[in-house]
Chain A
């Protein structure tokens, strides 16, 4: 994430708001994702109980993470696979590059993986002469455009169909220029045809994991396109890249979490493909990779285990928080300037790149609480965004205007009598000036508000002044 633009969030947001095509594309999130989740959640009376159980499974796992990691590793080894621990993003890149080189890889296919985005894997492989091919349609599209994903489960959700069609025509120059790409399915078919050859040519397949199961040493991926299956079974080596919090104790626990994952994410009861991999191909297996490696990434997560942000490690990356976020709906995922957008990103990103870089993200929230309301593992996202604001304030990183304004306000608020006198004066003055129209079209120090909204004029004397007068009269 060397190219994080999170410090420029305000500029990013301004550009996003002015981008008509983006605004058009974002309606899909605001309308469809929300409605679909609502529908499947309503159909399942035990949905809220399942969320409690999902939260409890994750909490239990995090409390005993060391034990489950050991148990998981032992099972992977027993199945003939290998486990590598990467403390940093750089470690993970190096381990994966070394593995790819050891297999003599020229091209690698990739299943969708946010952790791979987090460590900037594609750029690193490319810089070392290995061609990574994204096989998830959304990831494939943003790879063509050299963009970051704008959503954790729908990486190209910021694009309209017309933009994707233009990209395909630009890149797939070997295909007839007059081909018909009007139907969305024709875009899908074209991507499939292009990718099929890549699947067959790839030396290594790299996938993420939705879960790692300690009981069996299994990695689990959940997809809708089946691309993950081809990625991990066709090449001679399969590398799983996953972060430490993907661990769950048992198959039963995984199936519990699966019941809330797709429902919260896409509003499906189940995703189309759920694939479990345990070790490399055995002699009796008709196919599968002959080498199976798991790279487990920490990248700052173990330091979150003991602190204010521990609950964030429950996240199962469903995207429900961003799907329901009014700020995400307004500016989209790229404005956040890092791989994890929306509310979960506003909490996680400062852990990864520092609050000095990502300070805007936990601030750019109205604290409406809709993210926490839909989170399948009940992460208190607003509370943790507030914790980041506290860190920022303690370290004097908040903007000077905010600190000065708060200081002045705090002085009066802690002296209610003086506050009463000051507000009484202000209310009368503003009421007098605003008497004619009942509102202001412009106010000093409030131009952010009045640029696009009127501001109501006070009625006159403050409530407390009137109440006091009324009480003395009585």
Chain B
């Protein structure tokens, strides 16, 4: 049933690739359910760590590699606002004024989308076939929210998940303190910021915390777990794809052997 006009190259993101592949498979399911054919070209990272550390040369080298790897596809979709923001907003910045690369970066940016925004804004997906019994709260990751305008789309689709009640936390749009390399360079400040976020999450009484970026999710899950707060943490793609049977982030798999 794949529409030849919707060949999607999945930019899986380095964190999903390494830490939580199930988010990638959830993204594939959502895209395939919406009629896309999905391919995964060989990839590593979007180059954001270099870009945000001031190493423009490495960032450009990585960007060139990504643009070339995804050239065959009609769309590039990433289950992350941060990485999609890098591809869509910052790649064109990196090549500004370069007669060879700027047009390629612009064309690449035009076909690149954050997963949930792609489903809703491009494909017109209005509902998903998934269920989750319980109350959830949604954190707006910064890049998705402010660089790509991802705010209503995930809430709209989450609203169609059977059994799921969405309860907004205070300051849902305030940073969780992850910030990529920031959390390693300034761990104490990062911890203070995520401490407030964890408190806001807990205050909702929700059983499930959802967001669209694995970096933020790992940060918030790590804090909630260290503080002994019993909140499950999952990527929005897992919930929308109905793939919540497996363990949540940072939770051990049920062991079947004796």
What string of 1s and 0s marks CB contacts (under 8 Å) between B184-211 and chain A?
A: 1111111111110000000000000000
Least CB separation from A372: chain B residue: B146
A446 to B44, CA, bound (A): 21
- B253 near A438: Cβ-Cβ < 8 Å: yes
Contact A438-B21, Cβ < 8 Å, known A327-B189, A414-B58, A453-B226: no
- B186 near A410: Cβ-Cβ < 8 Å: no
Whether A3 is near chain B, meaning CB under 8 Å from some CB there, is: no
What string of 1s and 0s marks CB contacts (under 8 Å) between A366-382 and chain B?
A: 11111011000000000
Contact A455-B222, Cβ < 8 Å, known A330-B193, A368-B142, A419-B44: yes
Contact A435-B191, Cβ < 8 Å, known A448-B184, A453-B223, A454-B225: no
Q: Which residues of B contact A455 (CB under 8 A)?
A: 218, 222, 250
Whether B242 is near chain A, meaning CB under 8 Å from some CB there, is: no
A466 partner, pick from B21, B69, B180, beta carbons under 8 A: B21
The stretch of A268-276, A280-288, A389-397 that contacts the partner chain: A389-397
- A406 near B53: Cβ-Cβ < 8 Å: yes
Measured CB to CB, the closest approach of chain A to B18, in angstroms, equals 5
Q: Which residues of B contact A412 (CB under 8 A)?
A: 44
A373 to B143, CA, bound (A): 12
- A406 near B58: Cβ-Cβ < 8 Å: yes
Q: Which residues of B contact A461 (CB under 8 A)?
A: 21
- A452 near B186: Cβ-Cβ < 8 Å: no
Whether B40 is near chain A, meaning CB under 8 Å from some CB there, is: yes
What string of 1s and 0s marks CB contacts (under 8 Å) between B232-258 and chain A?
A: 000000000000000101111100000
What string of 1s and 0s marks CB contacts (under 8 Å) between A414-455 and chain B?
A: 111101100100110000000111110100001011011111
A461 to B188, CA, bound (A): 32
The stretch of B115-123, B126-134, B170-178 that contacts the partner chain: B170-178
A14 to B14, CA, bound (A): 31
Measured CB to CB, the closest approach of chain B to A90, in angstroms, equals 31
A66 to B19, CA, bound (A): 56
Contact A366-B221, Cβ < 8 Å, known A386-B51, A463-B12, A463-B17: no
What string of 1s and 0s marks CB contacts (under 8 Å) between B5-17 and chain A?
A: 0000000101011
A4 to B56, CA, bound (A): 29
- B58 near A368: Cβ-Cβ < 8 Å: no
Question: What is the interface of chain B mostly: helix, strand, loop, or mixed?
Answer: helix
- A369 near B142: Cβ-Cβ < 8 Å: yes
Whether A24 is near chain B, meaning CB under 8 Å from some CB there, is: no
Contact A453-B219, Cβ < 8 Å, known A365-B182, A459-B21: yes
Whether A80 is near chain B, meaning CB under 8 Å from some CB there, is: no
A372 to B142, CA, bound (A): 12
- B247 near A438: Cβ-Cβ < 8 Å: yes
Chain A interface size, under 10 / 10 to 19 / 20 to 34 / 35 or more:
35 or more
- A370 near B146: Cβ-Cβ < 8 Å: yes
A452 to B197, CA, bound (A): 14
- A459 near B19: Cβ-Cβ < 8 Å: yes
Least CB separation from B23: chain A residue: A463
- B179 near A413: Cβ-Cβ < 8 Å: no
- A366 near B178: Cβ-Cβ < 8 Å: yes
Whether B104 is near chain A, meaning CB under 8 Å from some CB there, is: no
Measured CB to CB, the closest approach of chain A to B244, in angstroms, equals 14
- A416 near B42: Cβ-Cβ < 8 Å: yes
Least CB separation from A335: chain B residue: B189
Contact A416-B43, Cβ < 8 Å, known A402-B185, A410-B55, A427-B18: yes
Whether A462 is near chain B, meaning CB under 8 Å from some CB there, is: yes
Measured CB to CB, the closest approach of chain A to B115, in angstroms, equals 14
- A423 near B252: Cβ-Cβ < 8 Å: no
B184 partner, pick from A390, A417, A446, beta carbons under 8 A: A446
- A436 near B18: Cβ-Cβ < 8 Å: no
- B174 near A391: Cβ-Cβ < 8 Å: no
Q: Which residues of B contact A366 (CB under 8 A)?
A: 142, 175, 177-180, 182, 190, 193
Whether B49 is near chain A, meaning CB under 8 Å from some CB there, is: yes
Measured CB to CB, the closest approach of chain A to B14, in angstroms, equals 8
Measured CB to CB, the closest approach of chain B to A341, in angstroms, equals 14
Q: Which residues of A contact B253 (CB under 8 A)?
A: 435, 438
- A414 near B221: Cβ-Cβ < 8 Å: no
Measured CB to CB, the closest approach of chain B to A354, in angstroms, equals 16
Whether B151 is near chain A, meaning CB under 8 Å from some CB there, is: no
Whether A85 is near chain B, meaning CB under 8 Å from some CB there, is: no
Least CB separation from B175: chain A residue: A368
- A453 near B53: Cβ-Cβ < 8 Å: no
Whether A152 is near chain B, meaning CB under 8 Å from some CB there, is: no
5 A-B residue pairs with Cβ-Cβ distance under 8 Å, sorted by A, are A17-B188, A366-B180, A406-B58, A413-B45, A466-B25
Interface residues of A (CB under 8 A from B): 10, 13-14, 17, 326-327, 329-331, 363-370, 372-373, 383, 386, 388-394, 398, 402, 406, 409-410, 412-417, 419-420, 423, 426-427, 435-439, 441, 446, 448-449, 451-464, 466-467
Top 6 nearest A-B pairs (CB, nearest first) are: A366-B179, A448-B187, A438-B252, A393-B54, A453-B222, A389-B54
Q: Told that A438-B247, A458-B18, A458-B19 touch, could you supply 9 new A-B pairs with CB distance under 8 A?
A: A366-B175, A368-B179, A409-B49, A414-B62, A414-B65, A452-B187, A453-B225, A456-B20, A463-B16
